[in-house]
Each structure stands twice: as structure tokens, then as C-alpha cells.
Amino acid sequence: MNVKIVTDSTADIPEEMARDLDITVVPIYVLFGNQSYLDGIDMDREGFYDKLLNGPVHPTTSQPTPQDFSSVYERLAPDANGIVSIHLSAKLSGTISSATQAAGRKYSCPVEVIDTSLVSIALGIIVIKAARMAKEGHDFKTIAAQTRSIIKRTRILVLFDTLKYLAKGGRVGKAKSLVGSVLNVKPMLTLKEGEFVPVGQVRNRSKGIEKLLDFVRNAGELEDLCVLHSTTPDEAESLAEKLDPVFPANRIIISRLGGGLATHGGPGVLAVVTVSKEQQES
């Protein structure tokens, strides 16, 4: 009997890592018109980006249903002494609501749902660390408590090529003022209290990458570091190499934005996620 870790597909955890750590991923729904796809299952990332960039219909997303989560909890519970279900910000998706509704049902073990107030691999690294604790045999209450502690030490900075997709999906939050910015200005956003807030804008991509590098350099002593991209894998690899003096490049997790979030982020997203050893000031 051990603790089972559940998340949703917006965590953007590399598939092999999720499999090795026994992380159960509940897919969100990506809809192109009347066609509904399970994120990461019915359509891979290449297929998604092809439809996003070249198709006639802009996609939308829909959260997993309470029944989707309930089915997963029912399947995992008999072999578990607890389930920790870790998800993206409730201010950006109703996924937490569905998971919470499902967790309220009766199972053979307790289920705890945690809102990270984060997205993508910022959520993913927290899930990964919880899964590692589960592998090491930590108990249910310890993993849940430690997960909440890790959230407080996790930060993300995102360089967007455009806010067009975020605005279309209604996820732009407090960055609305940047949507109509001068053409070619690249917005930079972070997450604060579960929603996107602007931290500035840069004139070109290279200056944005410098900002990402500075963000990591100023993050203090790091426990974990991730690089995220949507359509520029070479750029992500290069960024990881540039960060090697700060954090070993071979320990940096490089993740690709999946359909669930790329619907709102679009092409050209590049981001860094830091987990500091000490909690940083907000």
C-alpha cells in the first residue's frame, strides 16, 4: 500500500517521467469546433500544433468531469492508503472543482485535492516531487503537507510571443492592459495568487531570454529548475545550456507545452520555473 499521485494533463510532465514515477494523468478536453480530443491521448503535440497554426478553427478547452476523476480515484484506491490529487490554478480552470467534487465521494482511502495556483511544468515539478516522495515511502499526510510547502517556493516567468491566444481563451487575467501593445513587443508574465500578472515587456526575443536568465540567476539557491517551450525546442535546449553555471543542465527538466495550455499560450512560448531551497519573497 502506498500513496498515489494524480494530476491533470496541463502539468506537461514528460511522458516517460510520468510513467517512471507512476503519476496518473487525467486529460483535459481540447475541442476544435465539434471535435473533442483527450489532451495527449487522442492527439499528440505535433498534431495539435499543426491544427492550431494551420486549421480554420481556434480550439477551446474543457475541464475533466467529476466522473473522470471519480473513475481514476476508484481505480487507484484499492491499492493505496491515500491519493494526493494536484492541479492547476482554480482561477484558470474548473479542473479543481471537478476533482474536489469527485474527492467528496466515498473511497477506500482518503483523497486530498491541492490547488497549486500554478500551471504547466510549474505544476508539473510539484507533482514530480510529490511522486518521488511517494516512491520513497512517505506517508499521505507528509506528502500533502510537503507539497503545499513546495508550492510556496515555486516561481514561473513566461515569455509570450503574443497574448492573442491568452486573450481569445479569456485567461489573460491582470495582463489585459498588454493585449493591445505595440506590434512586436514581447510580453512577460508570471503567476501571482493563481492568475497571470504582467512583469514587463521586451522589444525582442533575445532581450526576453536575457530576462529569463536573470530571473533564474536571482532566484537564490535552487532545488529544481525547468525550461518550458511550445514550438522552439532548440531554443529551450540552448536556454538550459546557458543556465548550466547556475544549475546543472543535465538536471534541468525540459518540457513542451501541451494542447491544454498551448490553446491559450500559442506558439513561441518560452518559460523558466524555479523551485528555491528557501521560500522567496513575493
Same domain, 205 and 147: no
pLDDT exceeds cutoff 60 at 124: yes
The CATH number covering residue 201 comes to 3.30.1180.10
pLDDT attached to residue 64: 97
pLDDT attached to residue 170: 52
Q: Across all residues in the chain, what is the average pLDDT?
A: 92
Q: What is the pTM of this model?
A: 0.92
Residue-wise pLDDT for 163-188, tens only, equals 778 766 554 454 444 544 445 678 89
pLDDT exceeds cutoff 70 at 276: yes
> Quick check: is 115 in a domain?
yes
Among 125, 152, 179, residue at a domain's last position? 152
Number of separate domains in the chain: 2
- The more confident residue out of 93 and 172 is 93
Of 184-188, 263-267, 274-278, least confident by mean pLDDT is 184-188
Which residue segment(s) compose the domain that 246 sits in?
Answer: 154-276
> Quick check: is 48 in a domain?
no
- Picking from 91, 74, 85, the residue whose alpha carbon sits closest to that of residue 127 is 85
Same domain, 73 and 128: yes
- Separation of first and last alpha carbons in the chain: 38
Burial annotation 51-78 (CB, 10 A radius, 16+ → b, else e):
bbeeeeeebbbebbebebbbebbeebbe
Average the pLDDT over 269-282 and give the result: 84
Among 152, 168, 186, residue at a domain's last position? 152
Average the pLDDT over 80-92 and give the result: 97
- Picking from 51, 43, 41, the residue whose alpha carbon sits closest to that of residue 18 is 41
pLDDT attached to residue 174: 45
- The more confident residue out of 106 and 181 is 106
> Quick check: is 143 in a domain?
yes
pLDDT above 70 coverage of the chain, percent: 92
Distance, in Å, from the CA atom of 159 to the CA atom of 138, rounded to the nearest integer, reads 36
What H or E segment, with its residue span, contains residue 225?
strand 222-229
Please provide the DSSP assignment of 166-203 as one string: HHHTT--GGGGGGTTPPTT-EEEEEEETTEEEEEEEES
Residue-wise pLDDT for 36-74, tens only, equals 999 999 988 888 999 999 999 989 999 999 999 999 999
Same domain, 11 and 118: yes
